[in-house]
Amino acid sequence: MPISEELFERACRVIPGGVNSPVRAFNRLGRAPFFVDSAKGAHLWDVDGREYIDYVGTWGPAILGHAPECVVQAVQTAVVKGTSFGTPTPVEVEMAELICQLMPSIKKVRMTNSGTEATMSAVRLARGFTGRKLIVKFAGCYHGHGDSLLVAAGSGALTHGQPDSAGVPPELAELTIVLPFNDEQAVREVFRHRGREIAGVIVEPYPGNSGFYLPRPGFLEYLREVTAHHNALLIFDEVMTGFRLASGGAQQLHSIEPDLTTLGKIIGGGLPVGAFGGREDIMDCISPLGGVYQAGTLSGNPLAMAAGVAQLKDLVATDAWARLESLGARLENGMQRALKDAKKHFTFKRCGSMFCLHFTERDVVDLASAQSADFVAFRRYFLSMLDQGIFIAPSPYETGFLSTAHSEADVDATIAAAERALRG
């Protein structure tokens, strides 16, 4: 029996579903997940010695690929000085300054240990600052697993059929208004009726948790306008897009200044991390300056900060975004060609290094269109790609990630594998 299968059997006995996060399960795909032994650059090796070109990229953080030299060195240097102190360290200041410099809408930033903590805290802060209760989110967007945001959620919650999680009291869920992404009219209506009760709108500016798709021209700009008009806060969840779509994230692409931004993934270089930041008057409402409480023993952890600072500095120094765009364009062209050759009219969406092949002929602009995808076709494609040594997320509702470590040869091999998978 392959070692992965043995491990999975053992894991299932002691870990719910055998995994420490539901997105890692291959449940609906009829196979056990593989267990990783090691990773370097754009490649993963499993415990059975199989090699994969990786497009999961640890769900976003690995923008320089796995174990990049700069991150490994930074962590090695930091670890011998101690792993956590529960008191401030210089590298936390460096990280905060770097974030504020790269994302000018952020005047002050607080570090957390995960994206979930960041979004949960941003929502509490929006409520504390405005004195209002309602939060608006968009169907299929995933903002971590805080109670207020596990309503019509994407990612693993959607994949496993639990977009509205059990255990979230209805009284709390009622405070979250869910609207279709890209539907300006729906946003207008809700603000017309309940504008004075809305603390904030939280949005993934480029949704990446019900597959990946793009905002219609003007949609994000409208969110900025309507929230400002009603004194509600605009929260950009840039956990996935931050420092990935551009040095200043999606907000830079649209020249929008959200009131608050949530971050994670890339800023930890693969170590556990999150952050939320924004306008100074809002951020100063957080304890110990203000009455909104938020805390964490390991927040601003020196290893995570060292890794994240090293990764961010390398991205800037190498202008990684130009390289990512060129790889992304190569992949997109090749995939469109492969689709055409296979006479499949599926929808391919991409921005920079984020992409998704939707197994539907409809244009994908929101959750409903993403859900029109053919799951059986996805499953066939996923298994064929895996068998050919290409690892994409085990769900049609996730995003593919390129890294600067992917080579043109990796991308071309992926396109060739996709051609075979689509024909099969």
Give the up-direction half-sphere exposure of residue 189: CA atoms within 13 A in the CB hemisphere.
8
How many residues bind ligand HOZ (CB under 6 A)? The answer is 8
For ligand HOZ, which is the closer residue by CB, 89 or 119?
Answer: 119
With contact defined as beta carbons under 8 Å apart, do 281 and 249 qualify?
A: no
Q: Would you call 387 a catalytic residue per the annotation?
A: no
Which CB, 140 or 300, lies closer to ligand HOZ?
140
Q: What's the sign of the alpha-carbon dihedral 255, 260, 261, 267? A: positive
Rounded CA-CA distance 174/303 in Å is: 39
Quote the CA–CA distance of 105 and 260 in Å, as a whole number: 8
* DSSP string over 208-221: -SSS---PPTTHHH
Interface map 9-28 toward ligand HOZ (x if CB under 6 A)? ------------x-x-----
Tokens at 114, concatenated: 């995960």
Q: Report residue 386 CA to chain centroid gap.
A: 22
Comparison of 145 and 254: residue with beta carbon closer to ligand HOZ: 145
Q: Is 301 among the residues that bind ligand HOZ (CB under 6 A)?
A: no
Give the x/- contact pattern for ligand HOZ in 200-239, rule: CB under 6 A.
---------x------------------------------
**Cβ nearer to ligand HOZ, comparing 306 with 354:** 354
Residue pointed to by tokens 């809002």 = 282
Q: Where are the alpha helices (DSSP H) in 131-246?
A: 155-159, 170-173, 184-194, 219-229
Q: Which is nearer to ligand HOZ, 130 or 241 (CB)?
A: 241
The one catalytic residue in 52, 55, 142, 213 is: 142
Beta strands in 42-197 (DSSP E): 43-46, 51-54, 108-112, 134-138, 176-179
Q: How far is residue 72's CA from residue 302's CA, in Å, rounded to a whole number?
A: 14
Selection from 357, 364, 361, 349 nearest residue 392 by Cα = 357
Residue 237 annotated to the active site: yes
Among 54, 237, 398, 410, binds ligand HOZ (CB under 6 A): 398
| Contact with ligand HOZ (CB under 6 A) among 8, 52, 59, 213 | 59
> Which of 41, 65, 128, 156 touches ligand HOZ by CB under 6 A?
156
Q: From the candidates 46, 137, 213, 265, give the one annotated as an active-site residue.
A: 265
**Is there binding between residue 181 and ligand HOZ (CB under 6 A)?**
no
Residue 155 binds ligand HOZ (CB under 6 A): yes
Report, as residue numbers or ranges, the catalytic residues.
142, 237, 265
Residues that bind ligand HOZ (CB under 6 A): 21, 23, 59, 142, 155-156, 209, 398
